[in-house]
Structure 1
Amino acid sequence: MGVRLIKISVVYFLIGVGLGMYMSMAHNYTLTGVHVHINLLGWASMGLAGIYYHLFPQAGESKIGTAHFWLHNIGLPIMMIGLAALVLGNASFEPVVAVGGTITTLGIILFVVNILVNVKSVGR
């Protein structure tokens, strides 16, 4: 699971940097919130979670780890598509942001629970 999260995090990194470059070239920063969330919740958070799961394979191999991976990777794109549409003026996408954000948050809560339950110090 750790390697999967690290690999998907670099895809989010490429998307986030690409979006940032587009905004810079177009001198249009309307999608800054999308850019920031992709980089933080996609690149940084998933990359760090991947490192944790690699260092503590019992957490990465758990059912909670698998659920975290899928909820995070289903919720984040839904939230980002909804947020992009919302900031571009389509108010009807607000519920999409809420659904995607809720799914992502549930995934992150599972990550926290997984770390607290399955990560033990060496020698225990």
Structure 2
Amino acid sequence: MILIGKTLIKISTVYFVIGTLIGYYMSIVHNYDLTPVHVHINLLGWTALTLAGILYHLFPKLAAAKLGKIHFWLHNIGLPLMMAGLFLMIAFQLESLTTVIAGGATLTTAGVLIFALNVWMHLNEEDAA
């Protein structure tokens, strides 16, 4: 069984490292073309997944709900697709990757919406510590 909360936090640290390295690279070469990749990786990878992981850890009902599992997979399939597509499109001027980016963005957005729905449906006042 996957421990969704802790797994999301671990995955988020990978995004944190990648996002930081992209920012560092851009500052060294003084080329900021990859800013959209840097920002999205830090926001949707590092920050959002860390916060979701903390919520899933603190409130196990959220992680146990089917919506929690759906969110986990949509976010973790969609975000890498979107980021890889965006990176390759910017770095190699491959406009043909717009569909990959849009597909990844759709999956990620669906995951975020499902996460919000999960919180609203399964987080109750009696769950508070």
- Which TM-score applies when normalising by structure 1? 0.95
Aligned pairs, how many?
124
Counterpart for residue 82 of structure 2: 79
Seq. identity, %: 52
Structure 2: segments with no counterpart, 5+ residues: none
- Structure 2 residue 92 is matched with structure 1 residue 92: no
Structure 1: segments with no counterpart, 5+ residues: none
What secondary structure is seen at the aligned counterpart in 1 of 2:125?
Answer: coil
Whole-angstrom distance in 2 between the partners of 1:61 and 1:26: 45
Contact 2:59 2:127 (C-alpha < 8 Å) held by counterparts: no
Whole-angstrom distance in 2 between the partners of 1:75 and 1:50: 17
Residues 90, 3 of structure 1: alpha-carbon distance in 2 compared, 3 angstrom cutoff: same
AA matched with 1:110? I
Counterpart for residue 17 of structure 2: 14
What secondary structure is seen at the aligned counterpart in 1 of 2:126?
Answer: coil
What secondary structure is seen at the aligned counterpart in 2 of 1:49?
Answer: helix
Aligned mate of 1:55, from 36, 53, 58? 58
Aligned mate of 1:114, from 114, 118, 122? 118
Aligned mate of 1:40, from 39, 43, 46? 43
Whole-angstrom distance in 1 between the partners of 2:15 and 2:90: 20
**RMSD, aligned CA:** 1.3
Moved over 3 A (4+): none
